[in-house]
A and B are shown apart, each in its own frame.
Chain A
Amino acid sequence: MTEPVLDIRGLTKSFGALVVSDGIDLSLNPGEIHAVIGPNGAGKTTLIAQICGALAPDAGTIRLKGQDVTALPTRARARMGLARTFQISALAMEDTVLQNALLGALGAAGNPWRLFRPVLSDRALRARAEAALDRVGLLEKAAMRTADLSHGERRQLEVAVALTLEPAAFVMDEPMAGLGAEGGQKMTALLDTLRHEAPILLVEHDMDAVFALADRISVLVYGKVIASGPPDAIRADAAVRDAYLGEEA
């Protein structure tokens, strides 16, 4: 069996008496989409923050491509190939779509300390950014101001920025949030093709998307993984139905 790209062991974090991550074990294998679901307040956002380096865990280890990255800052993890998308789009709204994609390409493959040469004259960088925009279907809108994009297009741009990193793993925070039925289907189709480039750790509320895409699902409740397995097993799991699906049904 191949080694997991992302391997999380015993991740624990608490704020005072509130335990937000309680000994979480998670792994992400090559080629798979591993969905993390759970009711509000289950600790999904703080989990992502710890995986990406925005928040330091109290205990536990995070390994990326076999290397311990638990103590590394966000920047270093990104350079090692961890690409994050944000739940609320984190895009430079005043800039063009292309500039946002270029930023990712710059972080992954460019020299950001060049002060005089126009960034647009760097063909390699531009090609990388445009390829990513093309993948998500935004290439013809490259010159538009990001603020003028629709909500769905901004979500696609989020994914495109992650793609420019040519990452080893994606960590996606609710990429379906706020998308309508049609937008959701488009995004589902896109993510379905992305898994072959890099596996996706997908935190998502949209159950249709999760059950359509995920190879494995882990259920997080009060900071604990209460069940983990293929979608059919999760659907049948009594504890999950009780703790989570039962509430929503």
Chain B
Amino acid sequence: MVNAALVAALVGVPLWAHVAGEPFTITLATRAVIFALAAVGLNLALGLGGLVSLGHAVFFGIGGYAMGILAFHAQNYLPMFPETLAIEGTKSMPVIWLVAVIASALAALVIGLLSLRTAGVYFIMITLAFGQMFYYFTISWSAYGGEDGLSIWVRNGFPGLNTLDPIQFYGLCFTLLCGALWLSHRIARSPFGLMLNAARQVPHRVETVGLDGQRAKLVVFVISGAITGLAGALFADLNRFVSPTMFSWHMSGEIMIFVILGGVARLFGPVAGAVLFVAMEHVLGDLSDYWHIYLGALLLGIVLFARGGVVGLLAGRAKSHD
């Protein structure tokens, strides 16, 4: 029920806004959908794998910079690696997405290999620290704008669509979100999902039936990073701007908040959380400059009193894996 209402709203509201001529509402919805995609990525690692990553902004940022760098070279007619490879930049979304996914998956592989040597609170702190590493690196990387970031003049294109039209760009983002949700749903029910689910709860059991739980966690971390990276590329295209703040640990914290507001390990939890977050940001942000206080209070309330998140509250506690 909650899920159906959510999907209906995500289809209906932007269409209404399109007809009513309210492009700002469509932009808000696009923002929510992109955040949801990032959170669906994190939810795979967090909900299914039990990996409390406080560094998912790394992948969000890598996706963003994949778009920023490729489009920057294309719009300035500067090839990359001029002496050796001379690769042209690109303004094509599918190519940018592919690069974003591959780059963030590779980063997730390296960070995962290192971080999964540890567990628990070490894992949290290490993923957080890797996030800071990328943050400071981009600040000092003056070739691509350093602290000021990179602006892209025109939104990138998608074959057959006019991405400058808000509703068409929204449609693209929404389709990708649906794809990621379908993927999560399949993974959760697959043999791999079964193994991962058990590895989260009873790691030693998984080993004693001959399965490699650690490798399962690494694989899900890579998939998770890739999805969040794709969201980063879309987010950059929405704003036509990338900056080191995409790597900041506040971003990591916010992606985690989307998941928690909605409810961990629930398929639609991250979507509900992201929609709620953007709605609060918009409504409370208009009322008060200090709306983060209310966000903090709500988050505290959910952690201390309503462990299942918003979807949990609405759908009841009975079904933990809708």
Is there a direct interface between A and B, measured as CB atoms under 8 Å apart in the complex?
Answer: yes
Q: How distant is the Cα of A110 from the Cα of B190 in the complex, in angstroms?
A: 11
Flag if B210 contacts A78 (CB, 8 Å).
yes
Flag if B201 contacts A117 (CB, 8 Å).
no
A interface residues with partner B (beta carbon < 8 Å): 52, 54, 73-76, 78-79, 83-84, 86, 90-95, 99-100, 102-104, 106-108, 110-120, 122, 125, 161, 164-165
Q: Please judge, given known A-B contacts A90-B204, A116-B186, A117-B190, whether A103 and B210 are in contact too, CB under 8 Å.
A: no
22 A-B residue pairs with Cβ-Cβ distance under 8 Å, sorted by A, are: A73-B207, A78-B207, A86-B204, A90-B202, A90-B205, A91-B202, A92-B197, A93-B201, A94-B320, A95-B197, A99-B197, A110-B191, A112-B211, A114-B190, A115-B190, A117-B186, A122-B191, A125-B191, A161-B205, A161-B209, A164-B209, A165-B209
Listed from nearest, the 10 A-B pairs whose CB atoms lie closest are: A107-B209, A78-B210, A107-B210, A79-B210, A90-B205, A92-B201, A74-B207, A118-B189, A119-B191, A92-B198
Q: How distant is the Cα of A10 from the Cα of B202 in the complex, in angstroms?
A: 32
- Chain B residues, Cβ within 8 Å of A120: 189
Per DSSP, chain B at the interface is: helix
- Chain A residues, Cβ within 8 Å of B206: 103, 107
Closest residue of B by beta carbon distance from A82: B208
Flag if A91 contacts B205 (CB, 8 Å).
yes
Q: How distant is the Cα of A93 from the Cα of B320 in the complex, in angstroms?
A: 12
Chain B contacts with A in 210-239, Cβ cutoff 8 A: 210-212, 216, 219
Shortest Cβ distance from B218 into chain A, in angstroms? 12
Flag if A74 contacts B208 (CB, 8 Å).
yes
Flag if A112 contacts B216 (CB, 8 Å).
yes
Flag if B194 contacts A52 (CB, 8 Å).
no
Mark interface residues in B305-322 (1 if CB within 8 Å of A CB, else 0). 000000000000000100
- Chain A residues, Cβ within 8 Å of B191: 106, 110-114, 117, 119, 122, 125
- Chain A residues, Cβ within 8 Å of B205: 86, 90-92, 103, 161
- Chain A residues, Cβ within 8 Å of B198: 92, 95, 99-100, 103
Shortest Cβ distance from A117 into chain B, in angstroms? 6
B interface residues with partner A (beta carbon < 8 Å): 186-187, 189-195, 197-198, 201-202, 204-212, 216, 219, 320
Q: Within the complex, which residue of A76, A94, A104, A114 is in contact with B209, where a contact is CB–CB below 8 Å?
A: A104
Flag if A75 contacts B211 (CB, 8 Å).
yes
Q: How distant is the Cα of A116 from the Cα of B210 in the complex, in angstroms?
A: 21
Closest residue of B by beta carbon distance from A122: B191
Flag if B190 contacts A94 (CB, 8 Å).
no
How many inter-chain contacts with C-beta < 8 Å in the A-B complex?
A: 104
Closest residue of A by beta carbon distance from B220: A115
Q: Please judge, given known A-B contacts A94-B201, A94-B320, A112-B216, whether A119 and B208 are in contact too, CB under 8 Å.
A: no
Which of B190, B192, B210 has most A Cβ within 10 Å? B210
- Chain B residues, Cβ within 8 Å of A119: 189-191, 193-194
- Chain A residues, Cβ within 8 Å of B211: 75, 103, 106-107, 112
Q: How distant is the Cα of A113 from the Cα of B187 in the complex, in angstroms?
A: 10
Q: How distant is the Cα of A4 from the Cα of B140 in the complex, in angstroms?
A: 66
Q: Within the complex, which residue of A73, A102, A115, A122 is in contact with B187, where a contact is CB–CB below 8 Å?
A: A115
Closest residue of A by beta carbon distance from B265: A94
- Chain B residues, Cβ within 8 Å of A115: 186-187, 190, 192-193
Shortest Cβ distance from B322 into chain A, in angstroms? 14
Flag if A92 contacts B209 (CB, 8 Å).
no
Closest residue of A by beta carbon distance from B193: A119
- Chain B residues, Cβ within 8 Å of A111: 191
- Chain A residues, Cβ within 8 Å of B208: 52, 74, 78, 83-84, 86, 90
Q: How distant is the Cα of A61 from the Cα of B182 in the complex, in angstroms?
A: 49
Which of B191, B192, B320 has most A Cβ within 10 Å? B191
Given A99-B197, A118-B190, 19 other A-B contacts at CB below 8 A? A74-B208, A75-B207, A90-B205, A95-B197, A100-B198, A103-B195, A103-B205, A103-B206, A103-B209, A106-B209, A108-B209, A111-B191, A112-B192, A113-B191, A116-B190, A118-B189, A119-B189, A125-B191, A161-B205
Q: How distant is the Cα of A99 from the Cα of B211 in the complex, in angstroms?
A: 15
Q: Please judge, given known A-B contacts A103-B194, A106-B211, whether A116 and B201 are in contact too, CB under 8 Å.
A: no
Shortest Cβ distance from A54 into chain B, in angstroms? 7
Shortest Cβ distance from A97 into chain B, in angstroms? 13
